[in-house]
Structure 1
Amino acid sequence: MRTFYDQLNRKIELKEIPQRIVSLVPSQTELLVDLGLREQVVGVTKFCVHPEDLRKEKRVVGGTKQVHLEKISALDPDIILCNKEENTEEMVAELERIAPVHVSDIKTIDDSLQLILQYGEIFGVAGKASEIAEKIRFEKELFQKEMDGVRERKVAYFIWKNPWMVAGKETFIDHLLKLNGFKNVFLEEDSRYPEVELSQLKHKEVDLVLLSTEPFPFKVKDIDLVKTEGRMDSVHVVDGEFFSWYGSRLLLAFHYFKNLQAILP
């Protein structure tokens, strides 16, 4: 019996290296493929959009908050992969009746690197996992050097509309905002994803408003609305995957951040 602990320090016991994986977190699904485990993935969510063609060849078992337990059970998985933020505690309890469940908990890049290395051990691809983790560390350090001396800008990062919601404290998004030299103006709110009014932006002396492309698909047309109602001059739509997806997506994130810094005021 092989024994592991997930990022909530929950004990997981596996008889052997899992050969049938159900992944209920899009960024973790992408990581599995980049670790060379595409064939072992048997079930994914409708939001697992990378690689683009993956959902055509795998069983879609629902979303991240609601899944079809009978579909997952029929897949006879060796392990099910979840995330503390993406999936509910009740869901995890139900899934544990089907197979061992690994739950990730990601607030920083270090947490993401830990997860990558955990997957390397669990799925027998430690070498590939170490390679990805080291490349992310390298890209992060290089970006941080390039950010030396860049002035801090006060930002609001919107993730939803009707109601308006922003990324707040203790989120992976806020961690990446800090790496970009941004000061999140909504860190004092109690919620990690607080509901706010656009009128608050002026009072907080926000320099930049960032509208994420996910989970709400903000478009260019939303820029004028925020500029008018929030009385803001600088509003930009940014790729939400690079600010919220962990795992191997981080291999591309710092190049994106570098280009973003070049066009922002």
Structure 2
Amino acid sequence: MNLRFHLPPKEAFISLKKEIIDHLGRTVVYNFPPKRIVTLCPGITETLFGIGLEKEIVGRTRYCIYPEQAKNVPAVAGTKDLKLEKIHEVQPDLIIMEKEENTKEMVDILAEFYPVYVAEVQTIEEAYRMITDMGSLTDHEQQSESLVTEIKQAFTELPTLPAARVAYVIWQKPYMVAGKDTYINSLLQKLGFITPFVESSDRYPALTEEQFKEANLDLVLLSSEPYPFKEKQQVQFQEMLPDSAIQLIDGEMFWYGVRMLEGAKYFKDFSFDV
């Protein structure tokens, strides 16, 4: 007698409960693998799409506009504000957040209703960890490990620039720069730059014109985001710092995650005035 056993399709199996520790040391218990993910950090959202989770993502922030297909996902929040009723509507079984991008208050509110995993990225190495952990979190280990390998290879081709003193400006009124314990600073140092404002206790110190002048800067990079610096501000900085080179730069190339691949190509071709 021939007996045939017909197994149900994979998606018919009930998700298992999984316990995981996030980057802040919080214990998160959730259905594994997650089928309905809300992601509230643009760089992580783009990365989740990059490792093949487009079908699982059911909510994003209004700033999560990459890749293009992300715009088809309902916007349920900003990075600093929530629309709780919209999150309830999409019924996530996991919410992914990031310590810098999102507020502790947002984490605390959402954790009352849903499993919330909080990542933290302050360095290139932590960016690799985040990508790897996104794979483990979602049962996409092979895809995430492949992405990390590809990024690491691309980063071996980054230019090694002169040890110039550089400020990366993200805001005005007040002027604010990227400082210690930021992915931006980690990347600038990887390129070979000296970043004098890491001596501040603030991660994004606010500076006066006098402090800019006292820093003896070789180069000032004006980012396209979060403040959209343009030629007008470039002229103003040049008048303030006549002995420094002032350049506009694409701030999105300083995102972590899958964008690091595009960033590596951008920095390889970008002509820094040093």
Q: Give the direction of change, closer, same or farther, for the CA distance of 1:231–1:198 in structure 2 (3 Å limit).
A: farther
Contact 2:217 2:244 in 1 (8 A): no
Specify the alignment match of 2:8 in structure 1.
Answer: none
Find out whether 1:23 has 2:28 as its counterpart.
no
Q: How far apart in 1 are the matches of 2:20 and 2:209?
A: 45
Identical columns (%): 37
**Helix, strand or coil for the counterpart of 1:42?**
strand
Amino acid paired to 1:76:
Q
Find out whether 1:250 has 2:260 as its counterpart.
yes
Shift in Å at residue 141 of structure 1?
A: 2.3
Find out whether 1:41 has 2:57 as its counterpart.
yes
Q: How far apart in 2 are the matches of 1:15 and 1:40?
A: 13
Q: How far apart in 1 are the matches of 2:244 and 2:251?
A: 21
Contact 1:169 1:192 in 2 (8 A): yes
Amino acid paired to 1:19:
K
Shift in Å at residue 199 of structure 1?
A: 2.9
Specify the alignment match of 2:205 in structure 1.
Answer: 194
Q: How far apart in 1 are the matches of 2:69 and 2:131?
A: 23
Matches within 5 A, 1:106-117: 106-117=121-132
Shift in Å at residue 53 of structure 1?
A: 4.3
Deviates more, 1:19-28 or 1:197-206: 197-206
CA-to-partner distance for each residue in 1:78-121, whole Å, 9 max, x for gaps? 10010111111111010012210010111111111111111111
Contact 1:198 1:226 in 2 (8 A): no
Contact 1:165 1:195 in 2 (8 A): yes
Specify the alignment match of 1:185 in structure 2.
Answer: 196
CA-to-partner distance for each residue in 1:215-249, whole Å, 9 max, x for gaps? 11111221001111233441001111112x11101
Amino acid paired to 1:73:
H
Contact 2:157 2:268 in 1 (8 A): no
CA RMSD of aligned residues (A): 1.3
Contact 2:31 2:93 in 1 (8 A): no
Which of residues 90, 100, 104 is equivalent to 1:85?
Answer: 100
Matches within 5 A, 1:205-244: 205-243=216-254
Find out whether 1:169 has 2:169 as its counterpart.
no
TM-score (norm 2): 0.90
TM-score (norm 1): 0.93
Q: How far apart in 2 are the matches of 1:187 and 1:263?
A: 21
Q: How far apart in 2 are the matches of 1:232 and 1:8?
A: 43
Q: Which has the larger radius of gyration?
A: 2
Q: Which runs of 4+ in 1 moved over 4 A?
A: none
Specify the alignment match of 1:158 in structure 2.
Answer: 169
Q: How far apart in 1 are the matches of 2:164 and 2:263?
A: 20
Q: Number of aligned residue pairs: give it.
A: 258
Find out whether 1:264 has 2:273 as its counterpart.
yes
Matches within 5 A, 1:91-170: 91-143=106-158, 146-147=159-160, 150-170=161-181
Specify the alignment match of 2:82 in structure 1.
Answer: 67
Deviates more, 1:35-44 or 1:133-142: 133-142
Q: How far apart in 1 are the matches of 2:247 and 2:204?
A: 19
Contact 1:92 1:101 in 2 (8 A): yes
Amino acid paired to 1:12:
V
Query: Which blocks of at least 5 consecutive residues in structure 1 are unaligned?
Result: none
CA-to-partner distance for each residue in 1:40-87, whole Å, 9 max, x for gaps? 1111111112113422x2111121000111111121001001011111
**Helix, strand or coil for the counterpart of 1:66?**
coil
CA-to-partner distance for each residue in 1:1-34, whole Å, 9 max, x for gaps? 2121111121111232111010110000100111
Amino acid paired to 1:15:
N
**Helix, strand or coil for the counterpart of 2:77?**
coil
Contact 1:200 1:230 in 2 (8 A): no
Amino acid paired to 2:273:
L
Contact 2:36 2:94 in 1 (8 A): yes
